[in-house]
Amino acid sequence: MGVLKFLVWTTCAVGLGVFLARGNVDGRSPLEHMERTWKRSMNPSTVDRVKGRVGDALEDAKDAVSQKSANAAGPRERITAEDRAAIDNIIAKKK
């Protein structure tokens, strides 16, 4: 039953897509109507501003990451001099 349901919904979705791309409503496809409406209602300058903000934010993030990685020191060692001497002593005994 699940497979049949999947096939029916897939067929409906494909049919809707074909209709939107090739159907004819008032001499144009529904997709063309949607595109015209989008272009008329959406202010291009708004879209450009949003793109600009996203681009600026991306560049700022890249700069922050590159600065942190360039300035970052290696990991701090938490081993005391006594611990280091003990480890060196163990290594010397194994040789």
Tally of structural domains, the chain = 1
Helix axis angle for 30-41 and 2-22, nearest 10°, is: 70
Question: Cα separation of 89 and 81, whole Å?
Answer: 12
User: For 86-95, what is each residue's pLDDT tens digit?
Assistant: 999 999 998 7
**Are residues 29 and 20 in contact, defined by beta-carbon separation less than 8 angstroms?**
yes
The answer to whether position 51 is within a domain reads yes
User: Domain containing 30: what range?
Assistant: 12-63
The answer to whether position 21 is within a domain reads yes
The answer to whether position 59 is within a domain reads yes
Q: What is the pLDDT of residue 38?
A: 82
What does 48-91 look like in DSSP terms, one character per residue? HHHHHHHHHHHHHHHHHHHHHHHHPPPPPP---HHHHHHHHHHH
User: For 8-37, what is each residue's pLDDT tens digit?
Assistant: 999 999 998 888 887 888 888 888 888 888
> Could you tell me the pTM of the whole model?
0.35
SS3 of residue 25 by DSSP: strand
The answer to whether position 85 is within a domain reads no
User: For 51-87, what is each residue's pLDDT tens digit?
Assistant: 778 778 888 888 877 776 556 666 677 888 899 999 9
The answer to whether position 44 is within a domain reads yes
Question: Cα separation of 35 and 28, whole Å?
Answer: 11
The answer to whether position 26 is within a domain reads yes
